[in-house]
Amino acid sequence: MDVALPPGMERILFTEEQVAARVREVAAEIDAKYQGRELKLISVLKGSVFFLTALARAITVPVKIDFLGISSFGGPAKDGHSPGLVRIAKDLDEPIDGEDVLLIEDIVDTGFTTRYLLQTLAGRGPNSLAICTLLDRTVRRIVQVPVEFRCFEIPDRFVVGCGLDYRQLYRNLGYIGVMNPDGLGKHS
């Protein structure tokens, strides 16, 4: 079935069905690694919330969830990418010491956000700490971070959907699409 694409959306990179299938595969990898253990999934607001819920539903080992809110300072870059400077705006509700923690990301891009979060969480004494991301854009990586689970590697294009936004819009799209903000004219 054809989907009507919103203005500025160039093409669909991964359909809703492809995303759902890949999420199930990654959930199975996570189940295999954490068999017999309890997992704490930590979601970074707001981008990774959609991925977190889909993943949590597909994982069969017992999971707990918690949320971190971050804010970037310096303002968003022109292309909407994070400028790399972040701080915690909303902290976790519970401690994570002694827990097996999986940090759930929407996208690992330059790696700055993820590295900052990893360092912060590592300092709180978890039993283990790993990263699971929906999207990985390694071509733009500036700082190295160990990505243990990833659904998709993506090209160097700005994407939206499945939690990812352009100016807070399009997070609720079930597919992942390539957005070209220049195509939006005066609204870009």
Catalytic residue set: 109
d(CA 85, CA 150): 23
Exactly one of 18, 53, 82, 180 binds ligand IMP (CB under 6 A); that residue is: 82
Nearer to ligand IMP, 15 or 82 (CB): 82
Evaluate the CA torsion angle 32, 46, 138, 118 in order and state its sign: negative
Near ligand IMP in 108-147, by CB under 6 A: 108-114
Q: In angstroms, what is the minimal distance from the CB of 119 to Mg ion?
A: 18
Residue 32 main-chain phi, psi, to 5 deg? -65, -40
Exactly one of 8, 47, 126, 163 binds Mg ion (CB under 5 A); that residue is: 47
Compute the C-alpha angle 43/49/51, nearest 5°: 100
Q: Closest by alpha carbon to 115, among 81, 150, 142?
A: 142
Exactly one of 63, 107, 151, 162 binds ligand IMP (CB under 6 A); that residue is: 107
Residue numbers of the site for ligand IMP (CB under 6 A)?
A: 47, 80-82, 84, 106-114, 158-160, 164-165
